[in-house]
Amino acid sequence: MKLTATFPTDNAEAALARIDTIADPALFITRVPPDAVRARAAALVEEGPRDRPLWGRTFVVKDNIDAAGLPTTAACPDSAYTPAADSPAVARLLAAGAILLGKVNLDQFATGLVGVRSPHGTPRNAVVHTHVPGGSSSGSASAVAAGIADFSLGTDTAGSGRIPAGAQELVGFKPSLGLVPTRGVVPACRSLDCVSVFARGIEDAAAVLEAIAGADAEDPYSRAAPRAWSARGTAPPHLTLAVPEDAQLLFDTPDDAARFAAAIARFESLGARIIRVDIAPLLAVARRLYDGAWVAERTEALLDRVRHAPDTLHPVTRSILEGGLHRRTVDAFADFHQAAQARLHARRIMAGTAALLLPTYPGLPTLEAVAADPIGANSRLGTYTNFVNLCDLSALAIPNGRRADGVPCGITLVGATFAEGTLAGLAATFANEPFDAPARPDEVELFCIGAHMSGLPLNSQVLGHGGRFLRAATTAPEYRLFDMGNRPGMLRVATNGAAITGEIWALPAASIGPFLAEIPPPLGFARVRLSDGTTPLGFIAEPAGVAGLPDISASGGWRAHLATRPRA
C-alpha cells in the first residue's frame, strides 16, 4: 500500500465509499460517524507518520472488544454498555496511527464458528455468498474481505480467528495465550480467549500483531513474550513439518482433500520434510471444549443473564450456555487433567518440527446446511481448531486456493507458544510473499556452518536460545573446512582459502554467552568475513583442534559434504 502525504484521508474516503457500495445491513453494529472518521484522518495527515507503523490504515473491531465511546454489545442489544476507555488492543492500534471505522457483527457472545448466530443477521461471505462467513468473528472477516477495512480485530477461543479467515481467503493470526491483553473484551472462556488479527497479507497481519502485543499489568491472563519475540520471521531452507496421519484427516469433499494434499506438496517443493504424527490426544481434548468444563466457563461469564434474562439470548447460544449450569466440578478436573496431557503431547510434536500443518476446516458449509443442523455443522467446522488454545499454541491461518465449485479452502500452521514469527515466515514462503525480517538492535547475527544449521541435529540449540533464521550466506574465500565427525571445524587461512556456505541466524544478544558455554572445544565464536564484506560472529576452530582431520573445503559446505559422505 503506497503511502503519500494525504494517505490517511484518501484511505478513509475509500473505506467510507466502500461501506456504501457493499451495503451489507448485517455487517456493522455501530459505526464511527463518517465526519469523525474524516476528522481522525485529517489529524493524522497534519501530524505526519511519526514512525507510526499503521499510519492511516483503517480497521474495524469485533463488537465484544471495547472502543471508548462506542457501545459494546457482543451482539446482544440488552447487554450493551458504553466503555469510557479503549481496550489495550484498540488503544495500541490508535497509538500506531490507525483509523477506527466501527464495531462489527459476531456470533452472539462469541459462541459459534458459523457466523449466523446474531440478532443482527448474518454478514455476507465476501467470497461466496451462499456459504457461511465463519464465526464468531464474522463481521471482522467480512469487512476486510470486502475491501472496507485494511485489517480488523477479532477474538479466538475455539477457532473464531481462523475459521472466518479460511472462509473468506484472509490471513488469520491467532496469537499465543496472553500475548495480547484481553482486558476490555467480553469473555467467552476467559482462560482461553485471544484477540486475533485479520488482514489480506501476512506481513500486514504481522505488523498489526506486533502493534498490539505486550503484557498488561491489569490483566491477570496477560503475559510477556520472550525478549526476542517477533511476529515476523523467515522460514529456514531445511525444516520439518508435522502433518496428521491420514486416518485422522476429515474432509467434506474430495476437492477439500486434494487442496490439502496440494499444500503438503507445495511445502515439500520448498524443501520441507514432512512427518506424520498422531493427533488423537489433541482431537480428544477438543471434543471437551463444548461438552465439559469450558462450557461451564462460558456460562459463568454470563451467569446472571442465563439465569434471569435467558430470552435476550439467541436460541442456539442460550441452549449452549444453559448446558453449562449442570456441569460438575469433579468432571471439570478430569477435563483439566486431559488438557494437561494434551499439552504435553503437543509440546512433543512441536519439539521436533517447525509447525503442525492442518486444514483450517474439513469444508465450508452452506448457509442452508447450517440452518438444517446448526450444532453439528458448527462442531465439524472446529475439527482442527478447537484444541489449539486448550494446548497453549499459536496459529496462523492462510488461504489455500478454492475447490472446483469456487468455495475457499485454507490451511493453518500451528506452532509452539510464542512461535508467531516462525509461523509468519513459513506462511510467507508458502504464499510467495517473502518479507524482510532483519536482525533487531537487541539481536546478534551468528553465522552457522555445521550441525547448528536448519534441519540438522544441533539446530535445536539455536532455536532453544531464541534464534531465528535470517538468510543463507557464504564466506569470503579465506577459509578451510574440516570434518570433525559430527560437526565441521572452520579455520581462517592466509593462502589457498575457499568459500564456505552456511546460514545467518539472529540470536538475542543475551543468549550469546550461554550459547557459547555449550560449545565444546576446539570450537568458539569469532568474527567471520562473508562474501558481501560483512563480519558477523561465526563458528571458528582452533588450529590444533583440526590438525590432521579430513579437509572437506572442496565440498563448499557441511551440508554438501553430508550428502556425499558414506553413511556408517
pLDDT digits (tens, 9 = 90+) for 469-521: 999 999 999 999 999 999 999 999 999 999 999 999 999 999 999 999 999 99
Residue 62 annotated as catalytic: yes
- CA dist list (Å): 43 to 12, 37, 61, 152, 314: 12, 10, 21, 21, 41
Residue 136 annotated as catalytic: yes
Q: How far apart are CA 354 and CA 349, in angstroms?
A: 9
Based on the fold, state whether residues 502 and 554 are members of the same structural domain.
Answer: yes
Identified catalytic residue from 118, 138, 160, 196: 160
Contact 60/100 with Cβ under 8 angstroms?
A: yes
Angle, helices 329-351 vs 293-301, to 10°: value is 110
Based on the fold, state whether residues 49 and 157 are members of the same structural domain.
Answer: yes
Q: How far apart are CA 517 and CA 179, in angstroms?
A: 31
Q: Which of 307-311, 400-404, 530-534 has the lowest mean pLDDT?
A: 307-311
Average pLDDT, the chain: 95
Q: How far apart are CA 163 and CA 137, in angstroms?
A: 9
Pull the grid cell for residue 490.
572452520
In a domain, 130, yes or no: yes
Based on the fold, state whether residues 452 and 367 are members of the same structural domain.
Answer: no
Domain limit, last residue, from 430, 459, 486: 430
Return phi, psi of residue 13, to 5°.
-65, -40
Answer positive or negative: Cα dihedral of 143, 145, 150, 153.
positive
Domain limit, last residue, from 430, 452, 481: 430
Domain limit, last residue, from 368, 399, 430: 430
The predicted structure's pLDDT at residue 525: 96
Give the CATH number, domain containing residue 518. 3.10.490.10
Half-sphere exposure of 169 (CA within 13 A, CB side): 16
- CA dist list (Å): 280 to 14, 234, 244, 417, 453: 47, 30, 9, 20, 32
The predicted structure's pLDDT at residue 430: 97
Give the CATH number, domain containing residue 360. 3.90.1300.10
Contact 166/134 with Cβ under 8 angstroms?
A: yes
Based on the fold, state whether residues 450 and 412 are members of the same structural domain.
Answer: no
Q: Tell me: the pLDDT tens digits for 235-287?
A: 888 999 999 999 999 999 999 999 999 999 999 999 999 999 999 999 999 98
Pull the grid cell for residue 483.
570434518
Identified catalytic residue from 87, 136, 140, 555: 136
In a domain, 449, yes or no: yes
- pLDDT: which is higher, 150 or 294: 150
The predicted structure's pLDDT at residue 132: 98
In a domain, 221, yes or no: no
The H or E element containing residue 427 is helix 420-430
Based on the fold, state whether residues 400 and 448 are members of the same structural domain.
Answer: no
In a domain, 223, yes or no: no
In a domain, 225, yes or no: no
Q: How far apart are CA 63 and CA 45, in angstroms?
A: 28
**One-character DSSP codes across 298-335:** HHHHTHHHHHH-GGGS-HHHHHHHHHGGG--HHHHHHH
The predicted structure's pLDDT at residue 237: 87
Answer positive or negative: Cα dihedral of 414, 194, 300, 72.
negative
Q: How far apart are CA 357 and CA 379, in angstroms?
A: 20
Residue 103 annotated as catalytic: no
In a domain, 2, yes or no: no
The H or E element containing residue 272 is strand 272-277
Q: How many domains does the chain have?
A: 2
The residue range of the domain holding 306 is 7-216+230-430
Pull the grid cell for residue 132.
457461511
Based on the fold, state whether residues 426 and 447 are members of the same structural domain.
Answer: no
Based on the fold, state whether residues 109 and 246 are members of the same structural domain.
Answer: yes
Based on the fold, state whether residues 426 and 505 are members of the same structural domain.
Answer: no
Confidence of residue 33 (pLDDT cuts 50, 70, 90): very high
Based on the fold, state whether residues 129 and 96 are members of the same structural domain.
Answer: yes
In a domain, 350, yes or no: yes
> Of 133, 142, 135, 144, whose CA–CA distance to 314 is shortest?
135
Confidence of residue 567 (pLDDT cuts 50, 70, 90): low
Amino acid at 428: A
Based on the fold, state whether residues 473 and 403 are members of the same structural domain.
Answer: no
Pull the grid cell for residue 512.
550469546
The predicted structure's pLDDT at residue 568: 54
Based on the fold, state whether residues 400 and 483 are members of the same structural domain.
Answer: no
In a domain, 222, yes or no: no
Q: Tell me: the pLDDT tens digits for 17-28?
A: 999 999 999 999
Based on the fold, state whether residues 159 and 182 are members of the same structural domain.
Answer: yes
Answer positive or negative: Cα dihedral of 546, 548, 553, 557.
negative
